[in-house]
Amino acid sequence: MKTQKGNSIITTPIIIAIGMMLVSILIVLAVKILTPYLWYEKLSSTCIKYVFIMEEYGYLTSKEKNNLLEELEEQGFEKENIKINCTTKVQSYGSPIYLNVKYQYNLKLPLMEEQIVPMEISRSSVSKR
């Protein structure tokens, strides 16, 4: 009887430690997998802001395009992975305008090779100029 009680005193903390490690690993993986969705939402909200600017000017000026790139870089996006396609000439009132931003997010998971997650935000509106 005493040996059985002694065995449970030794094995219980080991089982708890293994369980805690597995839960920790699963939490880290879940956070890593959900991170691209958070980046997508940041990219989307920034694009919406610049569509409003485009509505005012009738297009995306080169200054505003540089501001967009700088703002995305400040948020943590890598400048070399960003591609912007947009209306580049002044549009009259009611004419369609568009903003298309593509970003390649590098997803790094433990024990797996790096994967690229493509993100594309397309917004369109009409010029209010």
Number of domains into which the chain is organized: 1
**What is the reported pLDDT for 124?**
94
Domain range for 118: 2-126
Q: What is the mean pLDDT of each run of 10 residues along the chain (129 residues)?
A: 65 91 90 91 95 93 94 94 94 94 89 88 92
What is the pLDDT, as a whole number, of residue 10? 80
Alpha-carbon distance 99 to 58, whole Å?
Answer: 12
**Residue 34 neighbours by CB distance under 10 Å:** 10
| DSSP type of residue 112 | S
pLDDT at 38: 94
